[in-house]
Copies of this chain bind each other. A is one copy, B any other.
Amino acid sequence: MKKNIPFLDLKSINAQHRAELIQVFERVLDSGHYILGDELKRFENSFAKYCETKHCAGVSNGLDALHLILRGFGIGAGDEVIVPSNTYIATWLAVTYAGAVPVPVEPLESTYNLDPALIEAAITPRTKAIIAVHLYGQPADMDAIMAIADQYHLKVIEDAAQAHGAIYKGRKVGGLGHAAGFSFYPGKNLGALGDAGAITSNDDLLIEKVRMLLNYGSKVKYFNEEQGFNCRLDELQAALLSVKLPNLEVETQQRCRIAQQYTEGLQGLPLYLPSVPEGVSPVWHLYVLRSAKRDELQSRLAEQGIATLIHYPIAPHQQGAYKAFNQLSLPVAEKIHQQVLSLPLSPVMSQSDVEQVIAAVKACAE
């Protein structure tokens, strides 16, 4: 029996926690306290523990997390920040938002993440930081990136929006660089019921600074030390995330099982499948393959009721938002953007759902 396979079955994912989410909603509603309270503190503590970092500060979303980290490190006008040419555009937006200039570096075609061998050539006297994105849930090559950063006294900011809980050489992402930005956009591995995000770090001063910046630049009510923003994580979303966090490890294992089933089932086709370097445990936010006939494959799968997405169709340097970069040639990123296709991946997918997708890809990719 064939059924339609959604790209991400968020309804079923959240339905697993239905009773508890409703109970928590009632608790927050009845508390009368909706901003910067105990629910937030509790979630921040749990998430810091989960990421094995000293601190966590809840924020409004993943883009704001990166933006606040940059501001917190004093990075802005006149500064350059190295970013991957292959990423979700929010990585770049955080940099321009802070007033700095993104300097793209190409990824490895094998991992889709920053190629450390290319970073040094992009460093100038204005370079202040590197944003290392753990794209699709797979950690970037952090040892190599940190070594370069140490040499040039650069900050390393992890963009962990897609990589909650991913492991690099025995350590969780979020604590591998100087600070990390997470997104809890509903579709993320850990998703809120609305926009949400967090900053993790072991840097006391940075966390103190971002906590001030996210609350109008104020530590003590009505005293505004700096020109801040309003980027708070609501009590409500924090409390809902606290319900879902304990299940994240199990869901990650389910994602790994599905990814393994895809990789095994799709061998021998004219497709480029994900490859995982030694020492790295991805959390499979997305299962991304590449095909020279990507658009055809996608539409044929759609005919079979298999929903797929493209992460992403247009590279940041080719967007209207970055006109000054439109003439750049970044062939690795461009090729990736032309070929990638993300298969359905919900932790609630059954083995036979996955089999159905595999069968359809086999039928369509040949």
Chain A contact residues, CB within 8 Å of chain B: 9-11, 14-15, 18, 21-22, 25-26, 28-32, 34-35, 60-64, 89-90, 93, 96-97, 99, 185-186, 192-195, 216-217, 222-230, 232, 234-237, 310, 312-314, 316, 319-322
Contact = CB atoms under 8 A, between A and B. Distances in A.
A11 to B, nearest CB: 3
B60 A217 contact: no
B216 A63 contact: yes
B30 A11 contact: yes
A185 B11 contact: no
A54 B64 CA distance: 30
A314 B222 CA distance: 7
Given A63-B216, A216-B89, A216-B93, A224 B29 contact: no
A103 B147 CA distance: 47
A25 B26 CA distance: 9
A97 B61 CA distance: 18
B29 A18 contact: yes
A345 to B, nearest CB: 16
A32 B7 CA distance: 13
B193 A29 contact: yes
A31 B11 CA distance: 7
Given A21-B29, A25-B25, A312 B229 contact: no
Given A28-B193, A93-B224, 10 more contacts: A14-B32, A15-B30, A18-B30, A22-B29, A35-B186, A93-B228, A195-B232, A222-B312, A224-B320, A228-B321
Contact of A11 (B32, B60, B316): B32
Contacts of A227: 93, 96-97, 321-322
B62 A320 contact: no
